[in-house]
Amino acid sequence: MPAAPPRDLYVVSDLHLGRGRRPDTRRWSRLETFLYDEDFLAFCRWLCRDAHGRAALVLNGDVFDFLRIEPEPAPGARGAERRFGPPPTPPVAAAMTEDILVGHPHFLDGLCQVLAAGHEVVILPGNHDLENQSDEVRAVVRRAVEARLAALEAPAGSAGRLSFESWFVHEKGRIWIEHGCQYDPENAFRHHLRRGLGPEAAAAAAEGDLPLGNFFQRYLYNAFGSITFIVPSTRANYRYFRWLLANEPRLLLRVTFSHARFLVQLLRRLGRLPESGWREEVARAHQAELAALGARSGLGAVVEEVDRLKATGADAVQAASGMARQVIKVGAGVAGTALAALAIFTASSAAIGALVDGVGWKALLSLLLYLLFAVTAAVGLVAAALRMPRDEPPRHLRDAAARVAALVDVPLVAFGHTHEEVVEPLPRGEGRGWYFNTGTWIAVFTHDVLVPRERVQLTFLRVRGPDGELLRYSPGRDAALPVVLLEEDPLDPEPAT
């Protein structure tokens, strides 16, 4: 009897659901970015029609956003917790998940449509929802799904097709799927597998093993409010800064001054010494989960080799030393510029006094000299503020995809995290592999050039048999269309790794 064909896979990432539309106010939450619930429900219905036989909807991380969410401090909370909310420990994240699912009923309906049709739903964690690994969060999602399936009178056993993975989905000889944040130096955790932690260790890890990108999102970027301020890369920082400088300078100044305490939070976190052995407990839990994943997946020690590819090189401690160096450089530059300007001004004044007789001409030339310095300084400041880095994306994830493909021997590797769609061939022995990045369903600053595409593409990866294709769902046509990606300029130099 021939083997059954492999299931179709539909991979979606980076939805970033917040608290959604509040039933009591009928308004969207202030920090909400996912405004496409009806589109997601329509996509799930289309998926059920499009699937050939068995299928699985894989939600590849950052499905929920436990970082960009309105804080709800406990009664009597003070200081950082009052302003920024409690750290997203498993119990806190579970409460957030309940609110998220209440605020996004059509998203929940979409999942249940897939399950009721006999297909699977698999949820993976990302750097914004690492707590999806916890039993508390999973229990909340299961209860909500079971209640909705019961209301829909779905076939028995539908809820059993919902599953969670702590890191990746691997199908032997076919595909490797994970969020990809572990290969981004700004968003990688030292120990991202945290199942089985005790309450104290979980609370300590939520703050102590916090990537730099997560830290800035929680303690700074949320202050900009309804602006879609999710920063998956350093390049996005520049785009946001330039946009704010040009369009919302008052907001930029207000946040700058009001968040002076942000620096205090940073210093407090860096100065916090471990009071107990929580780091050792987190490391042990990580290693235990690695061993369990190796056994379940059949990859054995290869899972540990993949884990060693992580790029934990930009945590807050290193960032603080880097900021200190930058402050010294800026101070030295300002001092040098001031001395040079003073020397030029003194020499120019002396030259004017020597060359021109008469107070009127002296005054006029001095005024012109002042204006010249003022214009030069203003142009220099504006140019420095608006200066943009090259728009080439970093190759951390692309390089990691090639190494993962070689380690686990698969032709297809799918990541999310960067919010940028990617289709790139991978060298693979005699054949050819592919790296896909599924982008995001939310609107963010990614490109500053005008291209014939929509800013929100509702992108997903469809894997059918041995082939994968990056597509976008069109709600208006109720169909899947090719993602709009332009050929890279062959004259551009290779991006730095």
Would you place residue 497 in the very low, low, confident or very high pLDDT band (cuts 50, 70, 90)? very low
Which pLDDT score, from 0 to 100, does residue 225 have?
Answer: 79
Mean pLDDT of 468-485: 94
% the chain with pLDDT above 70: 71
Those residues with Cβ within 8 angstroms of residue 275's Cβ, 6 or more apart along the chain or in another chain? none
Question: What is the amino acid identity at position 295?
Answer: A
Check whether 263 has a pLDDT greater than 70: no
Higher confidence at residue 330 or residue 466?
466
Which pLDDT score, from 0 to 100, does residue 496 have?
Answer: 36
CB 381 within 8 A of CB 404: no
Which pLDDT score, from 0 to 100, does residue 404 have?
Answer: 96
Would you place residue 106 in the very low, low, confident or very high pLDDT band (cuts 50, 70, 90)? very high
Higher confidence at residue 391 or residue 53?
53
Mean pLDDT of 378-404: 67
Mean pLDDT of 474-486: 91
Check whether 242 has a pLDDT greater than 50: yes
Which pLDDT score, from 0 to 100, does residue 269 have?
Answer: 56
Check whether 1 has a pLDDT greater than 90: no
Q: How far is CA 285 from CA 191, 220, 298, 330, 336, in A?
A: 9, 30, 20, 43, 52
Question: What is the amino acid identity at position 457?
Answer: Q
Which pLDDT score, from 0 to 100, does residue 357 have?
Answer: 55
CB 287 within 8 A of CB 207: no
Would you place residue 451 in the very low, low, confident or very high pLDDT band (cuts 50, 70, 90)? low
Would you place residue 459 in the very low, low, confident or very high pLDDT band (cuts 50, 70, 90)? very high
pLDDT digits (tens, 9 = 90+) for 294-337: 999 999 999 999 999 998 755 555 555 544 554 565 556 666 66
Listing from the earlier edge strand, what are the strands of the sheet with 162-164?
162-164, 120-124, 55-60, 8-12, 459-464, 467-474, 479-482
pLDDT digits (tens, 9 = 90+) for 140-197: 999 999 999 999 999 999 999 999 999 999 999 999 999 999 999 889 999 999 988 8
Angle at 402 between CA 396 and CA 403, to 5 degrees: 85
CA dihedral for 313, 319, 324, 325, sign (positive or negative)? positive
Which pLDDT score, from 0 to 100, does residue 391 have?
Answer: 45
**In residues, how long is the chain?**
497
CB 154 within 8 A of CB 145: no
Would you place residue 381 in the very low, low, confident or very high pLDDT band (cuts 50, 70, 90)? low
Angle at 102 between CA 96 and CA 50, to 5 degrees: 110
Which pLDDT score, from 0 to 100, does residue 196 have?
Answer: 84
- Taking Cα atoms as reference points, which of 382, 383, 380, 418 lies closest to residue 398? 418
CB 117 within 8 A of CB 79: no
Mean pLDDT of 333-359: 62
Check whether 290 has a pLDDT greater than 80: yes
Which pLDDT score, from 0 to 100, does residue 359 have?
Answer: 55
CA distance 479 to 42: 10
pLDDT digits (tens, 9 = 90+) for 187-234: 999 999 998 888 888 888 888 888 888 888 888 788 877 776 676 665
CA distance 113 to 155: 11
* Domain range annotation of the chain: 8-313+394-482, 319-386
Check whether 16 has a pLDDT greater than 50: yes
Chain-wide mean pLDDT for the chain? 82
Task: Name the token pair of 46.
Answer: 């289309």
pLDDT digits (tens, 9 = 90+) for 266-288: 666 555 545 567 888 999 999 99
Mean pLDDT of 9-34: 93
Those residues with Cβ within 8 angstroms of residue 379's Cβ, 6 or more apart along the chain or in another chain? none
Mean pLDDT of 108-134: 97
Which pLDDT score, from 0 to 100, does residue 51 have?
Answer: 96
Q: Which long-range contacts (CB under 8 A, 24 or more apart) does 307-310 make?
A: 307/182, 309/182, 309/183, 309/400, 309/403, 309/404, 310/182, 310/183, 310/188, 310/189, 310/192
Would you place residue 262 in the very low, low, confident or very high pLDDT band (cuts 50, 70, 90)? low
